[in-house]
Amino acid sequence: MTGKICGTGSCIPEAVWDNQKLSEMVETSDEWIRERTGVAARHIALGEETTVSLAAGAARAALENAGMSPEEIQLIIVATVSPDKLMPTTSCEVQKQIGAVNATCFDLNAACTGFLFALNTAQAYLSQGIYRTALIIGAESLSQLTNWEDRSTCILFGDGAGAAVLRASETGIYGLVTHSVGDMGEVLTCSSRNRKEYANGPAAPETYMQMNGKEVFKFAVSKVPEVIGELLEQEGLTTADIRYFLLHQANERIVRSVAKRMKTDMERFPVNIENYGNTSSASIPILMDEMNRKGLLKPGDKLIFSGFGAGLSYGASLMEWQ
Ligand code: UT7
């Protein structure tokens, strides 16, 4: 038994901050940001928009796409590194907003690898027959953790949410390889949460994301091809068997470098970071939703999802589009 994806959705904040706007905030330029990251603009959650509202919006869109009612969902997992609150969990807040009264809900934090780990977790429940339906969501308001005076990080990140509905299926394949390297945790940290808590005074530095971008970059371009290679070998497949590689949209240069190292055409490594920036756990499901809605994913297509990020953690999962 596996879980097949039967619906996808996403929810993107209305406000768009392009590179020009950022160049008015820090010393940078549209040219530098595009060249080094591939990002042209990112969406920022403002006003009533929160991690919960984005997650709920993506969930509703995915349920509609699946033709399912919220009551049919038995499990909700939200992957997020930027929850609005520690308690109640984002997943329980989503449950309340969408009326998924029969679901068991929990959050999962694996930073940018979060959606991949949520997908693996849902697959484990579905393949064991514990639940027959699941809703998994990657949702982030990274703008709350971003130091808007630090040009080495603020140019990269954006807000948004993506979701997928899964149903247990007698057919289909699923494989995964995951790793964590806690020894490298210091290269990407945020040791206290949510800037909103510090609204009355200058925010403490530890409330912002701190990143050694170069180290994360080097890690990603070496470990992502390696883990995809491990997964392919484990499943007895080659790159030629894979229709698309959906990578965490961290930086377009990382995706290009992985494609090059794997000697695979960029056409099979879709990229949408230009319009959203790096949305951490939301990037893979937003990309998948865009591709699904464009009709690019066909039954029988073998897909590899690969994520990496703070922890550090990384992994790759294989599934067939049904
Ligand atoms: O989502 C998972 C976790 N995150 C990632 O995967 C991020 C991985 N890392 C990256 O994407 C890249 O390292 C960054 C986009 C963050 C930075 O790009 P880079 O090519 O590694 O730049 P750098 O930090 O090596 O800086 C190169 C130069 C430096 O100037 P000097 O020392 O060469 O004179 C920086 O001071 O560019 C300068 N610089 C900038 N210039 C204009 C750094 N940030 C900026 C900026 N605008 N925003």
Per the DSSP assignment, residues forming a β-bridge with 149 are none
Residue 196: predicted pLDDT: 59
Name the amino acid, one letter, at 157: F
- Report which residue type is found at 149: E
- Residue-level pLDDT at 202: 64
Atom 2 in ligand 1: residue holding the nearest Cα = 309
Probe ligand 1: pick from 251, 281, 286, max atoms within 8 Å of CB? Answer: 251
Can you give the pLDDT at residue 191? 83
Q: What is the pLDDT of residue 198?
A: 53
Which of 19, 52, 49 shows the shortest CA–CA distance to 36?
19
Q: Is residue 248 flagged as an active site residue?
A: yes
Smallest CA separation from ligand 1 atom 48, residue: 151
Q: Which atom of ligand 1 is nearest to the CA of 280?
A: 1
| CATH number of the domain located at residue range(s) 175-320 in this protein | 3.40.47.10
Within 10 angstroms of residue 71's Cβ, the number of other Cβ atoms is: 12
* Annotation marks residue 92 as catalytic: no
Q: Nearest residue CA, atom 26 of ligand 1? A: 152
Q: What is the CATH number of domain 2-171?
A: 3.40.47.10
Ligand 1 midpoint to CA 214 (Å) = 7
String of DSSP letters for 20-86: HHHHHHSS--HHHHHHHH---EEEE--TT--HHHHHHHHHHHHHHHHT--GGG--EEEEE-SS-S-S
Closest atom of ligand 1 relative to the 156 alpha carbon: 15
For ligand 1, atom 18: residue with the closest CA: 36
Residue range 213-249, pLDDT digits in tens: 999 999 999 999 999 999 999 999 999 999 999 999 9
- Annotated active-site residue 102? The verdict is no
- Which of 152, 188, 248, 283 is the pocket-test mutation for ligand 1 (most atoms within 8 Å of CB)? 152
User: What's the CA-to-centroid distance between 213 and ligand 1, angstroms?
Assistant: 6
Read off the amino acid at residue 243: R
From the alpha carbon of 220, which atom of ligand 1 is closest? 6
Mutate to test the pocket of ligand 1, among 116, 217, 284 (most ligand atoms within 8 A of CB): 217
* Residue list, ligand 1 pocket, CB within 6 Å: 28, 32, 36-37, 112, 151-152, 155-156, 188, 213-214, 216-217, 220, 250-251, 278, 280, 309
In degrees, rounded to 5, the angle at the alpha carbon of residue 106 between the alpha carbons of residues 310 and 74 is: 130
Q: Could you report the average pLDDT of every consecutive run of 10 residues in the chain (322 residues)?
A: 96 98 97 98 97 98 98 98 95 98 98 98 98 98 93 97 97 96 96 62 77 97 98 98 98 98 97 98 98 97 98 97 92
pLDDT at residue number 287 = 98
> Tell me, what amino acid is at 102?
N
The residue nearest atom 36 of ligand 1, judged by CA position, is 152
**DSSP summary character for residue 301:** -
CB 159 within 8 A of CB 43: yes
What does the pLDDT read at residue 201? Answer: 62
149 alpha carbon – ligand 1 mean position (Å): 14
Q: Which candidate, 296, 190, 310, 166, places its Cα nearest to that of 243? A: 296
Write out the residue limits of the CATH 3.40.47.10 domain(s) in the chain: 2-171, 175-320
In the set 6, 11, 112, 190, the catalytic residue is: 112
